[in-house]
Amino acid sequence: MIKKYQDKEWLEKKYWEEELSKSNIGKLCGVDHSSISYYLKKYNISERSLSESVHLARANRCNLSWEAIEWINGELLGDGSLTTTAKKNDLPSKNLSALFRYSSKHKEYINYISNTLKSFGIQQSGKIIKYYNKKQETYCYKYNSYSYKELMSIYRQWYPEGKKIIPKNIKLSFWGNCGFFRNSIPKNPICLPRLWIPVGGRWYL
């Protein structure tokens, strides 16, 4: 009787569609990961690179609502940023993830950022870091979230060429830092003006 991992269609679905690792597939079937590797090669099912496998193991998942996406876009109009540790052509796009980053001299606003993202299911990575900003000659606070696969679609909109650009089709009722807060308003909203410059029909920071 044929075993599940010996079935090409089942194996390909588990490995690529459900994004399970060879070890996790092996655990489901009670075999070693080497057996899974053997059948992947036998059926000419392409395998992930080492960097892809590591990335997939570390990436987190969340369920972003329309409100969450709008809020993140609003913060990206201000000092918020998205970043990814992967190079532009290093990994297949479906395996990439991005993290949200924010720096400010106002700790209260950083706490607001952290709490709001947490309400959207995006968790803070480590502690909020206090550091001295030589350019501004003042102490600032830095927030980093965990990496999430769902943030990657927003990253591609804002950083199509690796540089922050306002998407042409963006529609907001929230403007980060100095604008319209859709639902929750910080006790002491802080306005940090940003300068966006139009170049060739797009806006650059």
Q: What is the pLDDT of residues 120-163, one digit of tens each?
A: 999 998 999 999 999 889 999 999 998 888 998 899 999 988 88
Q: Among 9-23, 111-125, 181-195, which is the least confidently predicted range?
A: 181-195
Separation between Cα atoms, residue 19 and residue 58, nearest integer Å = 13
Domains of the chain: 4-47 (no CATH), 66-204 (3.10.28)
Separation between Cα atoms, residue 197 and residue 205, nearest integer Å = 6
Q: What is the pLDDT of residues 44-91, one digit of tens each?
A: 999 887 666 766 666 678 889 999 999 999 999 989 999 986 655 554
Q: Among 20-24, 27-31, 124-128, which is the least confidently predicted range?
A: 20-24
Q: What is the pLDDT of residues 169-204, one digit of tens each?
A: 776 555 455 443 333 434 444 333 444 444 444 444
- Amino acid identity of residue 72, one-letter, is I
Question: What is the model's pTM?
Answer: 0.61
> In angstroms, how far is CA 11 from the centroid of its own chain?
28
Mean pLDDT of the chain: 79
Separation between Cα atoms, residue 152 and residue 96, nearest integer Å = 7
Separation between Cα atoms, residue 167 and residue 79, nearest integer Å = 16
